[in-house]
Structure formats: C-alpha cells, structure tokens
Amino acid sequence: MNYLEMFRIEHNSDLKLDKIDPDFKDKHEDKASAEEEIAKHIRELRELQYLLYAEGKRSLLVCLQALDAAGKDGTINHVLGGMNPQGCRVYGFKGPSKEELAHDFLWRIHARVPARGEVAIFNRSHYEDVLVARVHNLVPKEVWSERYEIINNFEKGLLANGTHIVKIFLHISAEEQLRRFKQRLDDPSRHWKISEFDYSERKLWPEYRKAYEEAIGRTSTRHAPWYVVPANHKWFRNLAVSNIIVHTLKSLDMKFPEPTVDIEKIRRQYHAAEEEQNHRNRD
C-alpha cells in the first residue's frame, strides 16, 4: 500500500478534519497484523537513509505537527529512531527565545534545515507561527495571514537547493486525546509530560482545528505536500508515517556515487597485503 496519495492534501483544498476518520486503520485489524509491514518499512528507512547520506546530493526535512498527545515523540522514537544519528537530526521548536523574536519568524528555522545527505526532523516547526500565533493572538491577523505565502516560497527555495519536504499532521480525536492525558496521570513514568497548559489548550480545540485546516490547505503544495495521518491507533500511525517517508525517499531515485579511487588498484593492494599477512602467519 502506498499512502502518499491516500493521505495527501491538495493545495488550497477546503480541508475539514472532521471528515477524516482518526480511527482509520485500512486493511489491518490490529497491531499484530501490521507489525511485519512496519518492520519492513523501518529496515527500508535505514537503507534509504544510508543511500541519501552516501549520495550527498539531497536532503530530507520531515515536519511533524499535531495537537497535544497526538504522538509526535512516539513517531520519532518508533519510526525515525532507527536512523543513523550521524546523518539524522531532531529539533523541537517551542516558544521562541528573545533572540529569535528579534528576527523574522523563519530565522530560527533556517539554521536547522538539513545539509545535503542529512535528514532533519522537526518536532513542531515554522507552522507554529500560523497556529499558536493565530489562536493566541500573538500577532495581528494581517501578519499571520501573510505568512502562508512566505512559508510556501521558503519551502520552494529549500527544494530548489535539494531539500525535499514531507509535512505530516497526526490526526487524533478529542476523546483519544483525553484518554492519553489520563494515561499520563496514571503512569508515574509519564508525569514529566504533564503540563498545566494541556487542559487550557484543549479548550481551544475548535480554534486550533480551524487554524490547522487553513494552514494545511494553504501550504500543501506540489513541492512540499501535507499528509493528514489518522493517529488514534499508534501502530497505524507508525505504519502510515513510515510508508510515506519510504515512498518519498524511493521516489528520489538515489544512486551511490561513483568511486573516487581506482578500485582495481586498491583491490591489488588488498590482495598483496592479504598475501603478506598469510606469509607472516605461516612463519
């Protein structure tokens, strides 16, 4: 199954998140039936990341956005955690610092985009500036509404420089969010995740949904598409996200670079060294 088309949002679409079932799990009944496919994708991700790193011509930026408790951390851990850290970076974007506020809203993003050969994962991203900034009236409407086009141009420029972009919104229901909040309360190992803002932000669910719908619809472009992934079932979230990233990387048709040395000459040197070592061992 290729989820690129199934979950991709068209540019300027009239997105309605309540029309997308967060409980969707496709042909799979449960986690057990999807485990083999997920494991296959994880292996492919490792191989494709290695190829991306070796080729050194392009990079991949994965933006994860979601409401609280939708599973951004879990996705990074279970899906993307298997990548080689030498070529993969994870960045979290919380409230901007005083220094960051003194610059344009993309200033802190520019410094974190991946170099050629790398994968960068954004846990939240530049989209906070058309989501939180909008919902909490941190800037006037005439400011945040202009940012959609600024973001589109920014992402188009990244692609022109070899950075391919995958943007994923993890879609959960209000009921599932509340259930996960309870898990955090009941499990001492998750208490560190609890915030007093969880419930105050939850009251703004309709405002956030509207903000996400417009942001995704306005900025899901050919060069930087958005995917809305049903995420009530964590295992299906992992399956869909890994599937989308694997197919994105495969579509790049990457190749290992040609050797920069004379392989046959090196091979002869190896055989000479091997013969010398064998001679020493016999002595």
pLDDT confidence of 262, banded at 50, 70, 90? confident
Reduce the DSSP state of residue 5 to 3 states and report it: helix
Q: Where in the sequence is the domain holding 249, given as residue range(s)?
A: 3-282
Q: What is the pLDDT of residue 113?
A: 97
Is-contact 10 255, C-beta < 8 A? no
Is-contact 207 264, C-beta < 8 A? no
194 vs 267, residue with greater confidence? 267
Q: What is the pLDDT of residue 279?
A: 85
Domains: count for the chain: 1
E-state strands within the chain = 8-9, 59-66, 88-92, 119-123, 163-171, 226-230
Residue whose structure tokens are 């209000």: 174
pLDDT confidence of 241, banded at 50, 70, 90? very high
Q: What is the pLDDT of residue 273?
A: 86
Q: What is the pLDDT of residue 235?
A: 97
Average pLDDT of the residues in 247-273: 91
Does position 66 have pLDDT exceeding 90, yes or no?
Answer: yes
We report the CATH number of the domain holding residue 215 as: 3.40.50.300
CA dist list (Å): 237 to 27, 156, 241, 243: 14, 27, 6, 10
For 70-107, write each residue's pLDDT tens digit.
999 999 999 988 898 899 999 999 889 999 999 999 99
> Residue ranges of the alpha helices (H) in 28-137?
31-55, 72-75, 98-101, 107-110, 132-135
DSSP assigned state of 115 = P
